[in-house]
Amino acid sequence: MDVNSRIADLISGYLFNELNDSELIELEQWINASNEHKELFECVLDEASLENQGRIYTAVNVGLALTKAKKQLNFVEMPEINPGRQIKLLWVSRIAIAASILLISTIVVYYLSNSGFSGSSTNLAKQTEINPGSNKATLTLANGKKIVLSATAKGELAHEAGVVITKAADGMLVYEIKAQNEQNNQQMNTLSTVNGEQYQVRLPDGTNVWLNAATSLKYPTSFSRNKERRVELSGEAYFEVAKDKTHPFIVKTNRQSVEVLGTHFNVSSYSDESITKTTLLEGSVKINSSVVLRPGEEGVLAESGVLAVHNADTENAVAWKNGLFIFENEALKTAMNKIARWYDVEVQYQDRNLELLTVGGSVSRFDKISEILTLFEKAGSMQFTVKGRTIIISNKK
């Protein structure tokens, strides 16, 4: 499907409330890519009026809307729309909706094709695509045995000190404790992802953890006889901690310690980033035994050791877990670090000042990399060249 056909489908789908979340994001990106796109879309909404208090759309009004947009934006003539052939659609009729969406899409495609609109960057269109990461990880058992989870069939993976480790149908690792003894407390497992991988695990106490790319989580095979439920993290992970007032849950990174009883929070602690960030969504956490966060707050620990507390954008903080990249006035270098980890690419800057530029927008983590780079190119003064698995960033010519 070409770009104009895709945009036509999105516009018509929007009119009939037929878009899912990712399609709504895709349409929003196209609208925000230029003032002309925005004016066209607004004209369509203004003119494609609803009858009978929102229960009927008319395809002819969409055609008239596009004609009005053409006049405002000085584009080519539209084909004549015959009001006598107007198609009305009832929300209760799925067949009628499908037929009208097809008609509206045809009209929109004609308009876009003859108006010079473009939904993608020609600079990136001909370059080799780089696909996103996937659900993979490596489990290293206490005895040193490694299990590549992406290549392992669902079911029982290993017996270790009375613990049965299985991979459930949804891909999550599940621990079931068959026996408890003192030795369990001394055995440690490590779940790790490299660039281009993410994974989810349920720990022996019922805590769920999502691991982002280039992340490792070290934890005991059993928490049963420990006073604390202590795990070690490098990278980024989202935690939904099982409640247990008598056994605090502690996340230790190389820079800080986060203590909780039962809560939802995200910790980002990459070695190539200058800050460690802890974002609280639910419950409460204590950082370094001193600073307590409330829901909607984040603790930002600088390399200097200074810990500051700010109001957090929780949606942004856990966007990766929900399958999205969300960038809000984010430094290009920080944004590209996230992209590099997920797409397993190297990033080179021809001008170091480019690292200081800010970027914005949202896109699915499961889109090809060109979708993200195109978004950045349209909004900023940089351009991207893809060579193999290397992204070269230069000033726009």
CATH of residue 386: 3.55.50.30
pLDDT of 359 over the 60 cut: yes
Question: Which residue did the predictor score with more confidence, 297 or 374?
Answer: 297
- Residues 97 and 172 grouped into a single domain: no
Looking at 282, 317, 352, the residue that finishes a domain is: 317
- Residues 296 and 330 grouped into a single domain: no
Q: Is 371 helix (H, G, I), strand (E, B) or coil?
A: helix
Question: Which residue did the predictor score with more confidence, 368 or 190?
Answer: 190
- Residues 167 and 294 grouped into a single domain: yes
pLDDT tens for 309-347 read: 999 999 999 999 999 999 988 999 999 999 999 999 999
Residue 362 lies in a domain: yes
- Residues 184 and 155 grouped into a single domain: yes
Q: Strand pairing partners for 374?
A: none
- Residues 271 and 336 grouped into a single domain: no
* Residues of the chain above pLDDT 90, percent: 36
Residue 280 lies in a domain: yes
Q: Give mean pLDDT, residues 105-124.
A: 50
Cα angle, residue 329 at apex, residues 311 and 122 outer, rounded to 5°: 150
**pLDDT of 306:** 93
- Residues 252 and 330 grouped into a single domain: no
> Predicted confidence band at 394 (pLDDT cuts at 50, 70, 90)?
very high
**pLDDT of 94:** 42
pLDDT tens for 45-101 read: 554 443 323 333 444 444 444 444 444 444 433 334 333 333 333 333 344 444 444
**pLDDT of 222:** 82
Distance CA 165, CA 184 (A): 14
- Residues 148 and 210 grouped into a single domain: yes
pLDDT of 200 over the 70 cut: yes
| Full residue range of the structural domain in which residue 41 is found | 3-119
- Total domains, the chain: 3
Residue 128 lies in a domain: no
- Residues 259 and 169 grouped into a single domain: yes
- Residues 157 and 262 grouped into a single domain: yes
Mean pLDDT of the chain: 77
Residue 84 lies in a domain: yes
Distance CA 106, CA 172 (A): 44
Distance CA 153, CA 169 (A): 10
Paired tokens of 196: 């281009």
pLDDT tens for 201-257 read: 989 888 999 999 999 999 988 887 788 999 999 999 999 999 998 899 999 999 999
- Residues 339 and 286 grouped into a single domain: no
- Residues 96 and 16 grouped into a single domain: yes
Angle between helices 35-47 and 59-73 (to 10 degrees): 140
Looking at 317, 349, 382, the residue that finishes a domain is: 317
* Residues of the chain above pLDDT 70, percent: 69
pLDDT tens for 128-168 read: 578 899 888 999 988 888 888 876 666 777 776 567 778 77
What stretch of H or E contains 44? helix 35-47
Residue 228 lies in a domain: yes
- Residues 194 and 163 grouped into a single domain: yes
**pLDDT of 38:** 73
